[in-house]
Structure 1
Amino acid sequence: MPRTELLTVVIAAHNEEAALPLLHPRLMKVLDGLDLEASVLYVDDGSRDGTWELLRSFADADPRVGVLRLARNFGKEAALTAGLDQVDADAAVVLDADGQDPPELIPELVARWREGWEVVYGTRMSRDGESWLKRFTAAAFYRVMDRLSDTAVPRDTGDFRLMSRPVLEALRQLRERQRFMKGLFAWVGFRQLAFPYAREPRLAGGSKFNYWRLWNLALEGITSFSTVPLRLATYVGVLTALLAFVWGLWIVVRTLAWGDPVQGWPTMMTVILFLGGLQLVALGIIGEYLGRLYLEAKQRPLYLVAEMRLPAQANPLPHV
């Protein structure tokens, strides 16, 4: 008899005890309607509320539900990596725990996968429930990444996507510590298809990504997939040095020709502060890249698992 196709839905959760009871029944109803063997793997990223106890109750009630608890909060990128590392299926779907990405769209992702696409990623046509500032900054970030990076990161695209087994095996080879998953998903390549959809408001609770964390994530993305800031710092430094040389030559010529009756305090302070500011900005950019080299050199694990119970499968594949 032909082997049944296997699908695993990976969900990383951090302090989502309010949203998960609303999302889980919807998800299981969708999986019940699929004509393949489907399971769910929840990853608890060091939650401090009742998220872990809730996830264990899901696993106790249904053998198709697996749970994985990290030793502490390692961040969403590491939590997704931990979940995808454990997937042993023909395809995996990454879904957010807040319910903004409708699980009811999974059958359509599966249909595109069966057409031959190895990655089907959701492109947000609308972002209900989000402020205009967050929508604006998100749109700006994707467009900046598009200009700076050699890797084409799809615009207005989050983590919601389906990936085939070859893509999952390729992702397991990428063990860099400073992870920007949206960029890694794009970097591996394979046949990828955009799937437009309308993003819904959160089911409950509040976003765990404030503007400071989003800013740090943007820095991770830019520094992980582009060296343009370093090159820009070089160009700005060369241009500033040329302007300073021309300005200094002009001061010498003016002094020799007409003297210097003015003390020049404002001009001197302006030049010193301007050049000092540029130097500090350049040092900051270099420091960002140097800090990432430092973290990579230590070779610490991406995450540590405290407890794990994988979902049951009807006919598991050999682990690679």
Structure 2
Amino acid sequence: MKLSIIIPCLNEEEMIPIFFKEVASHLEQLPVVPEYIFIDDGSTDRTLAEIKKLHHQYPDQLHFISFSRNFGKEAAIYAGLQASTGDLVCLMDADLQDPPRLLKEMYALITEEGYDCVGTKRTNRQGEPYFRSFFANRFYKLMQKVSKTPIELGERDFRMMTRQVVDSVLTLTEYNRFSKGLFNWVGFKKCYLSYDNQERVAGETSWSFIGLVKYSLEALIDFSDMPLTFVSLLGIGSCVLSGLALLFIIIRTLINGDPTPGWPSLVCIILFVGGLQLLSLGIVGKYISKIFLETKKRPIYLIRERDKVKEK
């Protein structure tokens, strides 16, 4: 049985040899033929050079794809899934925050217990900045409430899947991708393994707080129409509040008079309704921009270089 390991990389030159050595030591304990697929997502350091060194040592096992620029982790995941040929496929980060020790248990759950997909989730976010951890937890809880596609609290991209699951995900060719949602959307029999947060062995994360916020917003829009529902309810609320405010101003004027006729009510209404319109247009515009990107039919990624063995 062949097991494909997909590893998206962005500026991970220090981690590449460490990652390979660690994962290889765990795969030796499994009855599988490993296939490593490194995706260089437009790195600006020596990540690709380190990958090529390993490729020259293990040309039959280790393969690589190098993008023409940084297309993002979602594009790297998609490229890796397309290139994989294994009966089982595992997705891992190169920073070893996905514990390789879980590979044996994942394999057993699929081959012995009959699961199609074994995902992972962190039980805590120890070692992360407080605000990053706080907002990440709020995001997962929000997604659980507003999305019909279930996403586990603390869910990671780290997972092992059968070929059937991978082929199903590859039929979803949308440009705007949120892999955690897509893996759950296709269904199949799945379970999750929990583990404590692991800190990086070397190097620095390429994810900034702003980047994570943008990623969360993309996920929210891709897998929920809640913002549009929110805007609709906001519009109804605006009409009700404006009507009550006008009624209050009329009654107050009849009782006490009004030293500046019309000015307070006019300013309140303009500012209130104007603000709601801008908010509504912004949310609707975000959905329209998604449609715009989908209709362009641009490729999800472009390849600058890849090893010839992996041509399909």
Q: TM-score, normalised by structure 2?
A: 0.94
Shift of 1:31: 1.8
Instruction: Please say if residues 6 and 91 of structure 1, whose CA atoms lie closer than 8 Å, have aligned partners that are also in contact.
Output: yes
Which residue of 126, 129, 133 corresponds with 2:127?
Answer: 129
Change (3 A) 1:128 1:59: farther
Local SS of the residue matching 1:243:
helix
Local SS of the residue matching 1:103:
coil
Q: Distance in 2 between matches of 1:296 and 1:57?
A: 38
Change (3 A) 1:217 1:310: farther
Corresponding residue number in structure 1 for 2:241: 243
Shift of 1:208: 0.6
Local SS of the residue matching 1:163:
strand
Residue 62 of structure 2 aligns with an amino acid whose one-letter code is V
Q: Distance in 1 between matches of 2:140 and 2:31?
A: 36
Which residue of 1, 25, 41 corresponds with 1:29?
Answer: 25
Report matched runs for 1:96-245 at 5 Å: 96-114=93-111, 115-245=113-243
Change (3 A) 1:151 1:191: same
Confirm whether residue 82 of structure 1 aligns to residue 79 of structure 2: yes
Corresponding residue number in structure 2 for 1:69: 66
Local SS of the residue matching 1:126:
coil
Which residue of 293, 301, 304 corresponds with 1:303?
Answer: 301
Which residue of 42, 45, 48 corresponds with 1:52?
Answer: 48
Residue 245 of structure 1 aligns with an amino acid whose one-letter code is G
Q: Distance in 1 between matches of 2:28 and 2:13?
A: 23
- Render the CA deviation track for 1:213-268: whole Å, top value 9, x for unaligned: 10110011100000011011010111111221232234334445653234565564
Instruction: Please say if residues 41 and 311 of structure 1, whose CA atoms lie closer than 8 Å, have aligned partners that are also in contact.
Output: no
Local SS of the residue matching 1:291:
helix
Q: Distance in 1 between matches of 2:232 and 2:16?
A: 48
Percent identity for Structure 1 against Structure 2: 36
RMSD: 1.9
Residue 294 of structure 1 aligns with an amino acid whose one-letter code is F
Q: Distance in 2 between matches of 1:310 and 1:163?
A: 26
Shift of 1:129: 2.9
Q: Distance in 2 between matches of 1:274 and 1:175?
A: 41
Local SS of the residue matching 2:78:
helix
Instruction: Please say if residues 67 and 310 of structure 1, whose CA atoms lie closer than 8 Å, have aligned partners that are also in contact.
Output: no
Q: Distance in 1 between matches of 2:147 and 2:308?
A: 37
Corresponding residue number in structure 1 for 2:4: 8
Residue 51 of structure 1 aligns with an amino acid whose one-letter code is T
- Render the CA deviation track for 1:115-158: whole Å, top value 9, x for unaligned: 10001001111334312222211111100000110111121111
Aligned residues: 310
Corresponding residue number in structure 2 for 1:42: 38
Moved over 3 A (4+): 252-259, 262-271
Shift of 1:183: 0.6
Instruction: Please say if residues 65 and 310 of structure 1, whose CA atoms lie closer than 8 Å, have aligned partners that are also in contact.
Output: no
Shift of 1:28: 1.4
Local SS of the residue matching 1:306:
strand
Q: Distance in 1 between matches of 2:46 and 2:144?
A: 39
Residue 66 of structure 1 aligns with an amino acid whose one-letter code is H
Instruction: Please say if residues 13 and 43 of structure 1, whose CA atoms lie closer than 8 Å, have aligned partners that are also in contact.
Output: yes
Q: Distance in 2 between matches of 1:85 and 1:119?
A: 17
Shift of 1:21: 2.3
Instruction: Please say if residues 125 and 133 of structure 2, whose CA atoms lie closer than 8 Å, have aligned partners that are also in contact.
Output: yes
Q: Distance in 2 between matches of 1:129 and 1:21?
A: 24
Q: Distance in 2 between matches of 1:284 and 1:18?
A: 41
Question: Could you say which structure has the greater relative contact order, defined with CA pairs below 8 angstroms and 6 or more residues apart?
Answer: 1
Instruction: Please say if residues 140 and 153 of structure 2, whose CA atoms lie closer than 8 Å, have aligned partners that are also in contact.
Output: yes
Instruction: Please say if residues 13 and 46 of structure 2, whose CA atoms lie closer than 8 Å, have aligned partners that are also in contact.
Output: yes
Corresponding residue number in structure 2 for 1:20: 16
Corresponding residue number in structure 2 for 1:315: none
Residue 2 of structure 2 aligns with an amino acid whose one-letter code is L
- Structure 1 unaligned regions, length at least 5: 313-318
Change (3 A) 1:310 1:199: farther
Instruction: Please say if residues 35 and 86 of structure 2, whose CA atoms lie closer than 8 Å, have aligned partners that are also in contact.
Output: no
